[in-house]
Structure 1
Amino acid sequence: MDKIWSQIYGYWCGIQHYRWYGILGAWVIAIVGWAYVIHMPNKYESTARVYVDTESLLRPLLSGLAVQPNVEQRLSIMTQTLLSQPNLDKVIQQTDMDLSIKTPKEKEILLKELKQAIKLQVSKDNLYQISYEASESQLARRVVQSILNIFVEKTLGSSQSDSTNARQFIEQQIKVYEELLNSSEKELMDFKREHVGLMPSEKGDYYQRLQGELEKLEDAHTKFNIAKSRREAIKRQLGGEAPVIGFGSSYEAGSIKDPIGSITGAGDMRIQLLQEQLNEALLKYTDKHPDVTALKETIAMLRRKKDESPSKNSANNKMNDASGGEAEKYQPEINLSPLAGNFYYQQMQVSLAEADAEIATQKARIDALDKSVSHLRELVDTIPKVEVELAVLTRDYGVYKKNYEQLLARRESAKIGGNVDESPENVKFRIVDPPTEPVIPSSPKRPLLITAVLFVAIGAGAAFAFLLSQLKLVFYTRENLEDTTGVPVLGIVSVAISGGDLRKKRADIIYFFSALGVLVAGYGLLIANYLFNIQLFSMVKKLVS
């Protein structure tokens, strides 16, 4: 540790020995450096701050009703593209900077410098700061004002332009889909017209319809067999029943009722019942439905039977008229009552008529269903193809219709959204600090540079003195001498300074610190000139003039 301190002391002594060279070098460097700093061109910075209010009251009111513009994203994109070449070209034209441009190369250099000099800072609370430095204060203010105008106009203008482009695109798509929809409707209508009777109904596709007809046919066969069995059972019961003759007070000729009349009345009841069933079926099905066809054929058959029965009754009446005289001769002594039909016998006759009608109905239904099944089986290759083509046409029509309706809804939303974009309530720009024309230069930072020059000058002077001490080797300590020569030093003899030499040494020190003080005083004057704006150089110029 002592050796290190001894070495440092030796270096210090060497610098002290050449201190005048050091102070001279410091003076030269300080004067040159300060002169350079003083003559550096002034730059003036103009700054503007603007607050962008994107929290519009219209947003919650129009939520889900209109297309909401993404103002934050638009501002972000505008911030990134603000310093694009087209915008900078506008700035150059608006600030008359293009008047000094003579060649495309100069314009390219100016655009590059302008892009580097313009600064745009964005804070989290949507506060934008635009700043620019120029050699002229008026130019700096004009550039900032131009950038601010472009920022506001582009942000609002891009919104309106986007809305207009979106609406134009939607209108074009609506026309396209309207044509597609009309064409699809016409094609679907023509297809249905060409394939009448082959279209799938509410009952399903071809195979479902065929399966349904087969099930109906099986059901008709079952009911037909049941009706036949019922008729046979009724016939067997009728075989064991006979009309009953009762006794009364008088006898009236011709009062015996013919059971055929009872059957005819039952037929009328059956026709009326079937007619009601037909009316109900027509409310559900078409005229070509098998059930409707079967009911019609059954009613027609019963009516034919009804028309045939009067002719038989008239023949029987004629026979009775022919034998009427003889019948009067055989008036019995006993008062026989009229031959009244047994009520159970009549009911069985009605049931038999109903069973016959049911058999005829089911037979007609079976015939109609057989025709329907045969017809469907003949179309086994045609109907599925028609159904597939119809499904394709219907699917295309559904897609076109859905997209067309969505486009109509989007058009209305876009109209409302465009009105929102054009509304001043959508986004607001509030100028917090308008661009001003600066008076005090913003750069260079002369106080800082002058201070740096002072320290650099003092450091360079000390380094120069140290360099001289190393070039002209002088031993100031015993350890330094021993280390350099390698010879042991037995002792040190101090120099005896006389009074005159001591005074010279003291004067030399005073002069040295005076020179250093003048250097520091010059630094102080320069700092005061720029910090307190005392206009030192203007005063010197006036004194000189």
Structure 2
Amino acid sequence: MEELFSQMVGYLRGMWRFRWWGLAFAWIAGIAGGFAVYSMPDRYESTARIYVDTQSVLRPLMSGLAVQPNTNQQIAILSRTLITRPNVEKLITMADLDLAARTPGEREALIAELTGGLQILGAGRDNLFTLAYQDVHPERAQRIVQALVSLFVESGLVGKRQDSTSARRFIDEQIASYEQKLTEAENRLKDFRLRNMALLGDGGRDYVSQMTELSAQLRQAELELKEAENSRDSLKRQLAGEDPVLLEPPANSSPVSLPEIDGRIDLLKKNLDGLLLRYTDEHPDVVGARRVIAQLEEQKQKEVEAMKKADAGAPWAPTANPVVQQMKISLAEAEARVASLAARVAEFGSRLAQLRSSAELLPKIEAEQTQLNRDYEVHKRNYESLVTRRESANMSVEMTAQGGITEFRVIDPPSLPNKPAAPNRALLMPLAGLVGLVAGIALTFLLSQLRPAFGDVRSLREITGLPVLGAVSLLADPVFERRRRRGLLAFGGGVTGFVMAVAGMTAMVQLLQG
């Protein structure tokens, strides 16, 4: 600590030797700084205040129906990103500043000046913004701020429209993409169902349900077949116990007429006509009815031929009892029903056997169908969601355009300043004096280092490394003392005069600005 103190004292002694040089340089630097401050051009500041109203009656009413962006965040981002080169170039055109910038260099300098001078200041959460700019000409400053206000409002509205347009274009592209995916999924599902129609049936039942349903239908058909066979057998037993009645045949009766077989054939043909109205030619009931008709016609042909051989030339022929004839007709119906039910049982049995033979293939087909259905449902759900969002976006655009969700209000229009806002000469003038004083001190320190001197025996011994035998003291006489006091007074007066000059210039500048 003692060494540091001694070193500081040595520096001060060395600087004291060149105090007059430092004082003169401080005066020169102070005068130059004061002249520079005084000659700085006046800059006039024009300001405007804008309030962005983000509250609207439609906002709570349309909640959940339309997309409502965070307008406060958008406005805050806009205020921070408004001053960009494209916007500054547009502002130059709007404020007619391009008339003065004729060369590319001048235009670049103007862009740089505006980019650094334009200010957009926010006032917290109240959405109140202050726009300011300083220029040497008050009218031009007002024009620039007016153009900035227009650009601020324009950018907010255009930005919202661009965001809405971009969002709708993106949603439309996604809808078109998912519509194509949905069509492809539908085509894959349709082709799959067409390829496996025989195994899948109507597509709404799985393998187990089809097996269960076919088994139940087969059991029901077998039960009905058994009931029809019992009814047919009962009719046969009743016909076997009836005695035929012989009547005198009419003169014009045909010796080969078979009322029993003819009645059964007519009844079956009527039944066949009714079946063809409901079913196709391949239906089991239609096939069975035709087979029974063919058998009856063949039987009739054989009996006619037998009767022609056995009863040729007979004067009369047996005619059946009406009750017997009616029972034979009922028997024909029963046999037709039995044949139809037998065909149905055979068809159900064939289907059930086919399903059982495809027991290993059907689960794979059903798994593939489930995967196709899942892909289709995912694409369909996304497509419907995108369509809903597009409608919500369209509603938001209409709501913004008609309802004014965000409104820009100019609270204070751009002002025309009549007093300069800068430079603050009352503050810069003392700073210029302080800079001059620091410059004088720095000069004395530099000179003391360029022309050093030893102030005591200790520093001489430490620097040279030689032994110092002794020192000669200076005895001041009265003449030297008077000269030294006059020098101190003159130096103090110079410093005081410098301070008084700086204070006087500051007071004068403040008076002129006020």
So what's the TM-score if we normalise by structure 2?
A: 0.63
Q: Identify the match of residue 418 of structure 1 among 397, 402, 405.
A: 397
1:217/1:522 Cα in 2 relative to 1: closer, same or farther (>3 Å)? Answer: same
Aligned to 1:33: 33
Aligned to 2:96: 96
1:147/1:291 Cα in 2 relative to 1: closer, same or farther (>3 Å)? Answer: same
Aligned to 1:142: 143
1:368/1:9 Cα in 2 relative to 1: closer, same or farther (>3 Å)? Answer: closer
Please say if residues 224 and 341 of structure 2, whose CA atoms lie closer than 8 Å, have aligned partners that are also in contact: no
SS at match of 2:30: helix
Please say if residues 227 and 355 of structure 1, whose CA atoms lie closer than 8 Å, have aligned partners that are also in contact: no
1:159 aligns with 2:160: yes
**Alignment of structure 1 residues 255-294 onto 2, 5 Å:** none
**Identity in percent:** 33
CA RMSD of the aligned region, Å? 5.7
Q: Which amino acid aligns with 1:496?
A: A
Aligned to 2:296: none
1:456 aligns with 2:435: yes
1:20 Cα deviation after fit: 1.8
1:391/1:369 Cα in 2 relative to 1: closer, same or farther (>3 Å)? Answer: farther
So what's the TM-score if we normalise by structure 1?
A: 0.60
Residues in 1 aligned to 2:335 and 2:221: alpha-carbon distance in whole angstroms: 10
Please say if residues 145 and 435 of structure 1, whose CA atoms lie closer than 8 Å, have aligned partners that are also in contact: yes
SS at match of 1:99: coil
1:515 aligns with 2:494: yes
Residues in 2 aligned to 1:3 and 1:181: alpha-carbon distance in whole angstroms: 90
Q: Which amino acid aligns with 1:367?
A: A
SS at match of 1:522: helix
SS at match of 1:78: helix
Aligned to 1:131: 132
SS at match of 1:131: strand
Bigger shift: 63-72 or 508-517?
63-72
1:56 aligns with 2:32: no
Aligned to 1:495: 475
Aligned residues between the structures: 433
1:533/1:370 Cα in 2 relative to 1: closer, same or farther (>3 Å)? Answer: farther
Q: Which amino acid aligns with 1:111?
A: I
Q: Which amino acid aligns with 1:106?
A: E
**Alignment of structure 1 residues 239-254 onto 2, 5 Å:** none
Q: Identify the match of residue 342 of structure 2 among 366, 370, 392.
A: 366
1:116 aligns with 2:95: no
SS at match of 1:97: coil
Aligned to 1:246: none
Aligned to 1:22: 22
1:96 Cα deviation after fit: 1.5
Please say if residues 203 and 209 of structure 1, whose CA atoms lie closer than 8 Å, have aligned partners that are also in contact: no
1:98 Cα deviation after fit: 0.2
Q: Which amino acid aligns with 1:524?
A: A
Gaps of at least 5 residues in structure 1 are: 239-285, 302-310, 317-353, 536-545
Residues in 2 aligned to 1:427 and 1:39: alpha-carbon distance in whole angstroms: 47
SS at match of 2:120: strand
Residues in 2 aligned to 1:315 and 1:471: alpha-carbon distance in whole angstroms: 157
SS at match of 2:67: coil
Please say if residues 51 and 410 of structure 2, whose CA atoms lie closer than 8 Å, have aligned partners that are also in contact: yes
Q: Which amino acid aligns with 2:118?
A: I
Residues in 1 aligned to 2:378 and 2:7: alpha-carbon distance in whole angstroms: 96
Residues in 2 aligned to 1:487 and 1:409: alpha-carbon distance in whole angstroms: 100
Aligned to 1:436: 415
Residues in 1 aligned to 2:396 and 2:88: alpha-carbon distance in whole angstroms: 31
Please say if residues 91 and 147 of structure 1, whose CA atoms lie closer than 8 Å, have aligned partners that are also in contact: yes
1:524 Cα deviation after fit: 0.7
Residues in 2 aligned to 1:471 and 1:408: alpha-carbon distance in whole angstroms: 85
Bigger shift: 45-54 or 90-99?
45-54
1:468 Cα deviation after fit: 3.8
**Alignment of structure 1 residues 353-432 onto 2, 5 Å:** 361=337, 364-371=340-347, 409=388, 412-432=391-411
Residues in 2 aligned to 1:394 and 1:11: alpha-carbon distance in whole angstroms: 94
1:479/1:77 Cα in 2 relative to 1: closer, same or farther (>3 Å)? Answer: closer
Aligned to 1:506: 485
Higher Cα radius of gyration: 1
SS at match of 2:55: coil
SS at match of 2:45: strand
Residues in 1 aligned to 2:387 and 2:124: alpha-carbon distance in whole angstroms: 39
SS at match of 2:99: helix
SS at match of 2:98: helix
1:224/1:11 Cα in 2 relative to 1: closer, same or farther (>3 Å)? Answer: closer
1:24 Cα deviation after fit: 0.9
Residues in 2 aligned to 1:497 and 1:233: alpha-carbon distance in whole angstroms: 172
1:81 Cα deviation after fit: 4.5
Q: Which amino acid aligns with 1:464?
A: L
